[in-house]
Structure 1
């Protein structure tokens, strides 16, 4: 199959399983225009519930998404120049070594030096990158999720949750639904979950729910909740021995957290976590690079200024 054939096959499959089109007579005509086809396919993927799907569909979907990815420029985390550094402490007394979540990751191999208290330390670089997080190759990207955790169901919505799920494929929604089925309650604000990234160039996705600020004026508690989001993602990355993590601007979009305050909380929390090891012995701090991914010129300039302070 070529891309057009794959896209048409996927659209027809999703239409045929959709409850509104249970008879072939009701299935609408697939548009001939490629851009209209892409929009229709994304719409159908966005609204599809996390129900079982055929291995044939997954095979063709993966071929399609991987081929689409080749038309984009993939940015490697190592190619993003650092703007600042943070010293990270790494316990090696045996209380943390080898503890991983879900068996993910391998120990980091970067150079470290031992200090007098029985800890190792290394330098983590902090960077700002302006671009599409779904084209970033790193160990983990962070998704600003909602409390349902299974992605955005609004067709072609421009939020990052929608973008990540659309590029990853239906497996991401299925994986998130499995986590939520086990949890049996909405995802709380300030925590984090990890899943594979499937068709994304990153290895994993860290999902976190930030505070929603309808007034645009966050309370002290809501500011603490945002810090918890960053801390939870860092702790999960460290527990899984991940070396690079890219944060989106959590809660600053439709959740209306003020951009500058959110950026200051993000940078401060990352620096504090790397310096203290999160105040726990969950695992060594394996993180070697933290990237703040931004969408606008304004946000890029904001992070650059804060990191330079």
Structure 2
């Protein structure tokens, strides 16, 4: 059974088998969590992302999918990159957000990762409402069969932490 834990803090400071990057489809870095992971992880992550773009993901990583690279200088073995959906008031994209978590757990299982640290995917510049994102994340992790022993949600601020904590009760 997978244990779900919550931490308020900086995901780039976590020690885990795999750290999830809320990436953009280019895989070439960006703002928020994505930029922070690329900056702290160093050039090895970008180098592997460029190789992925040159091979399997010429048009970028599709929304809801996940792929792994080295973690570079982070305290992890791997970074699992996933592209969350942009929130829409007119279209239900919940399944795409849930897919991010399922796909990350699938990739983690393929890698043999036992601890995975997730950010609050799609809640930054993609504007997904925190309460709803927390519900989808926790429900998806709870319902997805995996060999991952610990899923750690690393939440940047108190509001995010409280939203996720409310889903665990």
TM-score range, shorter chain: over 0.9
Question: What is the aligned partner in structure 2 of residue 259 from structure 1?
Answer: 130
Match of 1:137 among 8, 11, 15: 15
Match of 2:91 among 210, 219, 243: 219
Total equivalences in the alignment: 168
Question: What is the aligned partner in structure 2 of residue 171 from structure 1?
Answer: 44
Q: Could you list the structure 1 runs, at least 4 aligned residues long, displaced by more than 6 angstroms after superposition.
A: none
Question: What is the aligned partner in structure 2 of residue 162 from structure 1?
Answer: 35
Question: Is the contact between residue 248 and residue 293 of structure 1 (CA under 8 Å) also seen in structure 2?
Answer: yes
Q: Which has the higher contact order (CA 8 A, sep 6+)?
A: 2
1:188 maps onto 2:62 in alignment:
yes
1:287 maps onto 2:148 in alignment:
yes
Q: CA deviation at 1:218?
A: 6.3
* TM-score (structure 1 length as normaliser): 0.53
- Alpha-carbon distance in 2 for matches of 1:126, 1:231: 15
* TM-score (structure 2 length as normaliser): 0.95
- Output aligned runs, 1:1-309, within 5 Å: 123-152=1-30, 157=31, 159-183=32-56, 184-213=58-87, 215=88, 217=89, 219-220=91-92, 222-273=93-144, 277=145, 285-308=146-169
- RMSD value over aligned CA atoms? 1.2
Question: Is the contact between residue 117 and residue 154 of structure 2 (CA under 8 Å) also seen in structure 1?
Answer: yes
- Alpha-carbon distance in 1 for matches of 2:91, 2:137: 16
Q: What whole-Å deviation, never above 9, does each CA across 1:73-105 have from its counterpart, x for those lacking one?
A: xxxxxxxxxxxxxxxxxxxxxxxxxxxxxxxxx
- Alpha-carbon distance in 2 for matches of 1:270, 1:134: 21
* Structure 2: gaps (5+ residues): none
Question: Is the contact between residue 189 and residue 225 of structure 1 (CA under 8 Å) also seen in structure 2?
Answer: yes
Question: Is the contact between residue 2 and residue 142 of structure 2 (CA under 8 Å) also seen in structure 1?
Answer: no
- Alpha-carbon distance in 1 for matches of 2:8, 2:43: 26
Q: CA deviation at 1:219?
A: 2.7
Query: Bigger radius of gyration, 1 or 2?
Result: 1
Q: CA deviation at 1:246?
A: 0.7
Q: Secondary structure at the match of 1:137?
A: coil
Q: What whole-Å deviation, never above 9, does each CA across 1:153-203 have from its counterpart, x for those lacking one?
A: xxxx5x111100000111111110101110222210000010110100111
